Amino acid sequence: MNVSERINARGNWYALQGSVDDRFAPVLEAFAENFRQEDEVGAACSVVVDGKTVVDLWGGWRDGAMTTPWDAHTTVCMMSVAKGVTGIAFNMLVDRGLIDIDQPVVAYWPEFAQNGKEGILVRWLLDHRAAIPVLTNDPMYPGGMFDREAYVKALEVQEPLWEPGTRAAYHVHNQGYLLGEVMRRVTGLTVGPFIKQEITGPLGAEYWIGGMGAKEQETVAEIMPNMNARLFAAKDVEMPADKAWTGETLRPLAFRQNPDEPWHTTLNKPLWREVEIASGSGHGNARGVARIYGSVVSPVSINAVTLLSQEGVERMITEQHNQIELMQERPYHQALGVLLNTAEAVYMGPNPRSFGHHGIGGSIGFGDPDARIGFSYSCNKLHSVGDNGPRARRLIDALYSVI
């Protein structure tokens, strides 16, 4: 059924639009309930089952002033949802035999072999055990995150903060640069161009990691960060002289290369959309991300596109560890470049084999390989809770109520 309705919620009017197969009507009601009950401004939700889009909803406003409606092609920064899409892209190269994850990184990137990193395996870049979650040897300068080549050089001289392969710590920005450089050495393309050429272009999915031109930026929604979120709220502390790292000492260093300006400014400037920050600057909508995950899990191809073989999918979602990762001190069931369902941190429904990635503030994309579901939710008003939040959970529970 087609959806076109206006609801009054919390004293404001919100237009909800899109389409929903009749069977999935509870997802529409959950979508509306998010506007009634939660701090929603603009959002989208999409579900792909067996290669077919069965939910495609959007609504609310692109901006905090509520002057511009969210439309069918509105995109928004989905934050670390980018890590899951980057993980899929990297695993495509593994699936093609171009990368061996049990080789040391230096087999593909010789300059990486500095300051004790010679033995770091490619596998550990994917599962956050590389022991270089932040830059300490070369902290660069405010805004250095936008200089990809300089960031790669800084990673080359960075020393491991503990024994690689042992302790997991969320490589907030570093994972994207690390995987992107290995991809560049193998294919000549970094993450963003590879995704456009091999994934989003063939699938017709609206999702970019860097490389957004003026036309693509015309429909980008304002992102409204919540500064109470644990990563955003991190305060400067001194680095531990004894190298006894904790989340409290790691978190401030994760963003030392950010511009010296408010987060709201950084996340809404054109440069954030144009430069490839493969762990966090992905912009898209729920339709595009659900299409990507739906293509990965479905035996029915979308646009005759096969991203990964069945063997490649199973390899990617094999659990590597289940640790309390050090950066945010949260439990993660970690696979290869994607997270596995972790109810306390990243809720993906009832199937423990579901995989994907959330973004700080609420956006998420995941695939259920057994129910053959691709799911995504995107939003512009971010929350501060430690998991992927009540809005995504309400939608996911509504979806599985009819599966």
Amino acid at the residue 73: H
Res. 231: pLDDT tops 80 = no
Res. 236: pLDDT tops 90 = no
Res. 338: pLDDT tops 80 = yes
What is the C-alpha separation between 280 and 370, in angstroms, rounded?
Answer: 28
Domain that holds residue 142: 83-204+230-261
Domain assignment present for 183: yes
**For the segment 34-64, what is each residue's pLDDT rounded down to a tens digit?**
999 999 999 999 999 999 999 999 999 999 9
Range in 224-233, 241-250, 274-283 with the lowest mean pLDDT: 224-233
The closest of 400, 397, 391 to 43, measured between CA atoms, is 391
Question: Residues of the chain with pLDDT > 70: what percent?
Answer: 98
Name residue, tokens 């401004």. 41
SS3 56: strand
Domain assignment present for 12: no
Confidence band of 103 (pLDDT split at 50, 70, 90) = very high
Q: What is the mean pLDDT of residues 76-100?
A: 98
- Contacts of 242 by beta carbon, 8 Å cutoff, 6+ apart: none
Domain assignment present for 295: no
Question: Residues of the chain with pLDDT > 90: what percent?
Answer: 83
377 vs 137, residue with greater confidence: 377
Q: How many domains does the chain have?
A: 1
Res. 230: pLDDT tops 70 = no
Range in 63-77, 183-197, 379-393 with the lowest mean pLDDT: 379-393
Helices and strands (H, E) in the chain, number of each type:
14, 13
Name residue, tokens 């456009």. 196
Hey, which residues does 57 pair with through a beta bridge? 18, 45
Res. 24: pLDDT tops 80 = yes
Range in 140-144, 179-183, 282-286, 376-380 with the lowest mean pLDDT: 140-144
pLDDT value, residue 139: 67
Asked whether 80 and 175 are in contact (CB, 8 A), the reply is: no
Domain assignment present for 17: no
Domain assignment present for 13: no
Domain assignment present for 351: no
Angle at 132 between CA 376 and CA 354, to 5 degrees: 25
Asked whether 376 and 54 are in contact (CB, 8 A), the reply is: no
Domain assignment present for 389: no
Q: How far is CA 15 from CA 7, 20, 380, in A?
A: 7, 15, 15
Domain assignment present for 181: yes
Question: Chain-wide mean pLDDT for the chain?
Answer: 94
Angle at 180 between CA 293 and CA 89, to 5 degrees: 20
CATH number, domain containing residue 162? 3.40.710.10
SS3 393: helix
Q: What is the mean pLDDT of residues 151-177?
A: 96
